[in-house]
């Protein structure tokens, strides 16, 4: 697992400083392979999915070759969605934080055209955008690609699936012949291979080897969780899991420190283990874990390499690893010396593919777990509380307190149970026995995400477009209640179903699969959306424009206007947010058997 560092790969000093401040410790496998090739100016074909570090794999070498003096676009990145465009643009901004006069611009439909035009005039070095809107700018001549040095197709298979591939080809044809080209895709369907053949010439190929490995004796589970709920989910797990020693894996050095501090603030004995620790401190930390004076280590891959501590009963992949090899290495820190181990993997909605890929590597299913409920947390606390009390019954000097309370009960005529209840209430203040926990929802309730329909940006049409194929409609949740809305623009205004989907998906951040039946009429349209749209969202959507016409969205009776089905009729799909997955089995079977002894000096221990 020894990997080169970023400096030896040839990344420039300013970028190295940025990586240092971001806490990146070492290149991920896709970065180690791609960076030198792109620095040499080669075309690149990368088989990599989100979560492998592919953005930095192309951003770092391309930024290293950037000419700060050139004010016309030098790098163009095409992405399938506006979310990814924003994310990639932010990544560029982060890596270029110490580069003077650096400008990156995300461009996507639904965004105000004028402000984009203004920004483009100001001088931009990197443009990241969705194909439709980029093409519009090319046609308006507001985007000048004549001096482009590099173009990247990010998530090419997604662009294909969303019906953007013709636009992508048109854009590629407009880039100078000398442009360096890179294409990243999780899969390589024939249409992508064709683009590679036509535009990437003799591209170097990089992919992450997924050697198959089996991991025995380790119970592997995963939890679907939103990034913003990870910490709460983790603390609940720490409360109810019967663990001895634990390693929590995160991606960056800074994250080790941050998470360890947050856990400590919540009463858990946790410590960071990262490459910044000197040898002495590292050894001392590991020693504390071995001896049991410390239970939780928050580590990066590099720092935990070779760690061999028998009492590690749990590994938590707080951030999913970049590649399957790392996953196998990480979870191999548990299940040592013939013991059983448990590995818990946090997966965000976007990381489902990585999960499947890991599963095929380990040749073992990773079973879904459900988030411990407030009731489970409460039960566990009560059990710990009772154990503490029972254990203390034999403590020396208890007699004095017994006499004191008996006297108090007699003198003040209070039931001894009431005194005990009052004391119990005070004793649990810091770790309430009946906590009110924040609601945490799984990101998506569906067992597996289906292909997304093409979300076209509601762009201002410039020139004619090729008609696109519609994706297969699919009804994951036919039982969902939908509401019907009227939109004050229809066929006569040039509206197509994709424009409505695009406007709603992009403007309201409603995933396209939640958008139901669309009916087009001459001067208006209707769309079905899941019941219960928040008021502010509704107000916002009213003002959104579709094909340059304000939607003026309003609710109508669901029985109205079902008559003339438009070409874009689709069955209803999902809700705004999915309900908690009810089909998930609890990871814990039976009551927890944590030893009172092993509790001493553990968790809050308050």
Q: Which of 47, 55, 111, 513 binds ligand AMP (CB under 6 A)?
A: 55
Contact string 206-245 vs ligand AMP (x = CB under 6 A): ----------------------------------------
Q: Which of 34, 52, 180, 326 binds ligand AMP (CB under 6 A)?
A: 52
Applying CB under 6 A, which part among 51-59, 198-206, 405-413, 429-437 lies near ligand AMP?
51-59
Least CB distance to ligand AMP at residue 49 (A): 7
Instruction: Give me Rg for the CA atoms of the chain.
Output: 28
Count of residues near ligand AMP by CB under 6 A: 14
Query: Does 92 sit near ligand AMP (CB under 6 A)?
Result: no
Give dist(CA 290, CA 292) in Å, integer: 6
Binding to ligand AMP in span 249-308, by CB under 6 A = 251-252
Minimum Å distance from CB 474 to ligand AMP? 26
Kind of pairing, strands 312-317 and 341-347? Answer: parallel
Residues numbered 401-460 forming contacts with ligand AMP, rule: CB under 6 A: none
Nearest to 391 by CA among 148, 605, 132: 605
Question: What is the SS3 assignment for 181?
Answer: strand
Q: What share of the chain is helix, strand, coil (3-state, %, to 5)?
A: 40, 15, 45
Residue 591: other Cβ atoms inside 10 A: 10
* CB neighbourhood size of 567 (10 A): 11
Query: Which residue stretch of 54-62, 206-214, 282-290, 570-578 sits at the interface with ligand AMP (rule: CB under 6 A)?
Result: 54-62
Among residue numbers 9 through 28, which ones bind ligand AMP (CB under 6 A)?
A: 24-25, 27-28
Q: Quick one: which of 29, 51, 321, 530 contacts ligand AMP (CB under 6 A)?
A: 51
How long is the chain?
606
Q: Does 380 bind ligand AMP (CB under 6 A)?
A: no
Identify the H or E element spanning 132.
helix 131-140
Instruction: In angstroms, give the least distance from the CB of 54 to ligand AMP.
Output: 5
Rounded to whole angstroms, the Cα distance separating 338 from 363 reads 20
CB of 334 to ligand AMP, least distance (A): 22
Does position 47 interact with ligand AMP (CB under 6 A)? The reply is: no
Pick the closer one to ligand AMP by CB: 38 or 56: 56
Residue in 15, 375, 358, 44 with CA at minimum distance from that of residue 199: 44
* Encoded tokens for 554: 């309003």
CB of 135 vs ligand AMP, minimal distance in Å: 25
The rounded distance, in Å, linking the Cα atoms of 127 and 331 is 39
Give the Å distances, CA to CA, from 255 to 66, 259, 351, 366. Answer: 29, 6, 19, 25
Q: Is 53 in the site for ligand AMP (CB under 6 A)?
A: yes
Between residues 76 and 294, which has the closer beta carbon with respect to ligand AMP? Answer: 76
- Which tokens is 379 given? 């039960």
Q: Is 79 in the site for ligand AMP (CB under 6 A)?
A: no
Options 29, 42, 54, 223; binder of ligand AMP; rule CB under 6 A = 54
- Residue among 469, 553, 569, 458 at smallest CA distance from 519: 569
Residues lying near ligand AMP in the complex (CB under 6 A) are found at 24-25, 27-28, 31, 50-56, 251-252
């Amino acid at each position: 697992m020894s990997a080169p560092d970023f400096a030896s790969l040839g990344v420039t000093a300013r970028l190295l400083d940025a990586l240092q401040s971001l806490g990146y410790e070492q290149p991920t496998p896709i970065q180690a392979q791609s960076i030198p090739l792109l620095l040499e100016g080669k075309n690149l074909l990368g088989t990599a999915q989100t979560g492998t570090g592919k953005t930095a794999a192309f951003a770092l070498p391309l930024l290293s070759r950037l000419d700060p003096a050139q004010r016309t676009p030098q790098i163009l990145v095409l992405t399938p969605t506006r979310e990814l465009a924003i994310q990639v643009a932010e990544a560029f901004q982060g890596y270029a934080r110490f580069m003077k006069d650096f400008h990156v611009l995300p461009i996507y439909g639904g965004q105000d055209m004028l402000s984009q035009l203004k920004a483009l005039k100001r001088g931009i070095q990197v443009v990241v955008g969705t194909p439709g809107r980029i093409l519009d700018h090319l046609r308006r001549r507001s985007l000048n690609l004549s001096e482009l040095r590099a173009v990247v197709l990010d998530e090419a298979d997604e662009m294909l699936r969303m019906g953007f591939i013709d636009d992508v080809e048109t854009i590629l044809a407009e880039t100078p012949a000398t442009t360096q080209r890179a294409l990243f895709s999780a899969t390589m369907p024939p249409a992508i291979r064709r683009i590679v053949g036509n535009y990437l010439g003799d591209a170097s190929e990089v992919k992450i080897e997924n050697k198959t490995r089996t991991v025995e004796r380790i119970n592997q589970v995963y939890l679907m969780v939103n990034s913003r709920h990870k910490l709460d989910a983790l603390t609940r797990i720490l409360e109810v899991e019967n663990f001895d020693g634990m390693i929590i894996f995160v991606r960056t050095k800074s994250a080790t420190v941050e998470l360890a501090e947050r856990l400590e603030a919540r009463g858990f004995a946790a410590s960071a283990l990262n490459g910044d620790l000197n040898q002495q401190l590292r050894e001392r930390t590991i020693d504390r874990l071995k001896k049991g004076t410390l239970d939780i280590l928050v580590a990066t891959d590099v720092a935990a390499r070779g760690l061999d501590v028998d009492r590690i009963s749990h590994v938590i992949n707080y951030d999913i690893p970049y590649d399957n090899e790392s996953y196998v290495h990480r979870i191999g820190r548990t299940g040592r010396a013939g013991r059983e181990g448990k590995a818990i993997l946090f997966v965000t909605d976007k990381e489902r593919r990585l999960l499947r890929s890991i599963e095929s590597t380990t040749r073992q299913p990773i079973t879904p777990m459900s988030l411990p409920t407030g009731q489970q947390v409460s039960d566990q606390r009560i059990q710990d509380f009772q154990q503490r009390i029972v254990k203390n019954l034999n403590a020396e000097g208890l007699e004095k307190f017994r006499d004191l309370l008996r006297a108090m009960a007699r003198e003040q005529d209070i039931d001894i149970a009431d005194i005990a209840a009052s004391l119990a209430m005070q004793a649990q203040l810091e770790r309430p026995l009946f906590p009110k926990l924040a609601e945490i929802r799984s990101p998506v309730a569906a067992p597996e995400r289906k292909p997304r329909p093409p979300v076209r940006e509601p762009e201002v049409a410039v020139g004619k477009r090729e008609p696109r194929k519609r994706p297969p409609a699919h009804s994951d949740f036919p039982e969902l209640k939908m509401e019907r809305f009227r939109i004050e623009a229809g066929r006569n205004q040039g509206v197509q179903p994709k424009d409505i989907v695009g406007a709603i998906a992009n403007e309201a951040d409603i995933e396209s699969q939640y958008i139901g039946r669309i009916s087009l009429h001459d001067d208006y349209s209707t769309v079905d959306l899941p019941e219960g749209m928040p008021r502010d969202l509704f107000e916002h959507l009213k003002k959104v424009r579709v094909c340059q016409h304000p939607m003026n969205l309003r609710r109508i009776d669901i029985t109205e206007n079902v008559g003339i089905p438009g070409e874009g009729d689709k069955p209803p799909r999902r809700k705004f947010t999915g309900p908690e997955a009810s089909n998930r089995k609890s990871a814990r079977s039976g009551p927890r058997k944590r030893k009172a002894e092993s509790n001493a000096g553990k968790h809050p221990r308050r």
